[in-house]
Structure 1
Amino acid sequence: MQTTVDRPVDAVEKVLGEVPVPPYVTQQHVQLAMRAVLQHGPESWPTGPLCRSDLTPYPCRLHRWGRAVLRTRGMTDRAVDDLIARAERPARVPDGRR
């Protein structure tokens, strides 16, 4: 998955602007950022990729915020993309045999 440009693309985003990154990023911010990045990932639509959570053009405000928070803690965009790819892989269900 390729990283997209970090800029507002929705009318609501143009009014509200970006979600600010806290000046001191705590472990709780990192946990919320990881959840935001995973929950607000891209979903294919005929009009182009949309956020799977709020159906705004991808990347939405919360996805961009999550990436920005993770960047402040030293996580690269490639590492975030790898995290998303691992989370989207189907889980292997054991067949129940011993």
Structure 2
Amino acid sequence: MRVGEQSTDPIDQVLGEVPVPAPLTPEDVRLAVRAVVVHTAEEWPTGPLCRNDGASYPCRLHRWGRRVLETHGLNERQIEALIRHGNPFVHVPFPFTATGPSSARPAGYSAQAARTNGLTVRHPAARVVPPGVRPTAPGRPVTPPVTAPRWPRAS
């Protein structure tokens, strides 16, 4: 069965298709990437089956993930590359354009997030040196003088 065809699986006929959310969020895109990677095809003598749940390929979640990623702006080749990559936690930029992240940000993005393309920037923490201890070269641990054990001895 191809991706666009109607499924003959009884569960699919009873439950129908999983709806694509109208305003896509970054969480929807992350879940869609996981759905297409985890619910990939596995060859069996009876034909391709979903690797995760054993339903006929493509299963409901795989089809939903493809529709979400296509709505998000990925083409068929990019979706296939995600599946071949095999990492269900790979990051897809939000919002997505063919040339990379868009400059138009959804509501809730701060100015700093726009400057850093939505990535969290970590600044190095300031080193606090306790009184009486000389600072050493960077990268070398500073051990305070041992005055008493941290826990009582067993004997």
Same-fold call, TM cutoff 0.5: yes
State the Cα distance separating 1:77 from its structure 2 match. 1.4
Structural mapping, 1:1-98, within 5 Å: 4-6=2-4, 7-87=6-86
User: Counterpart amino acid of 1:14?
Assistant: Q
Unaligned runs of 5+ in 1: 89-98
State the Cα distance separating 1:26 from its structure 2 match. 0.4
User: Counterpart amino acid of 1:76?
Assistant: N
User: Counterpart amino acid of 2:60?
Assistant: R
Cross-structure match for 1:96: none
Q: TM-score, normalised by structure 1?
A: 0.82
Q: Is the 8 A contact 1:50 1:58 kept in 2?
A: yes
Q: Is the 8 A contact 1:33 1:70 kept in 2?
A: yes
Q: Which runs of 4+ in 1 moved over 6 A?
A: none
3-state SS of paired residue (2:47):
coil
Distance 2:49 2:40 in 1: 8
User: Counterpart amino acid of 1:59?
Assistant: P
State the Cα distance separating 1:86 from its structure 2 match. 1.9
Cross-structure match for 2:122: none
Q: Is the 8 A contact 1:10 1:57 kept in 2?
A: yes
Distance 1:87 1:27 in 2: 20
Q: Is the 8 A contact 1:8 1:18 kept in 2?
A: no
3-state SS of paired residue (1:49):
strand
Relative contact order (alpha carbons < 8 A, sep ≥ 6): 1 or 2 greater? 1
The root-mean-square deviation of aligned C-alpha atoms, in Å, is 1.5
Higher helix residue share: 1
State the Cα distance separating 1:5 from its structure 2 match. 3.0
Q: TM-score, normalised by structure 2?
A: 0.53
Cα deviation digits, residues 22-68 of structure 1 (max 9, x gap): 01110000000000000100001000000001100000000000000
User: Counterpart amino acid of 2:3?
Assistant: V
State the Cα distance separating 1:79 from its structure 2 match. 0.8
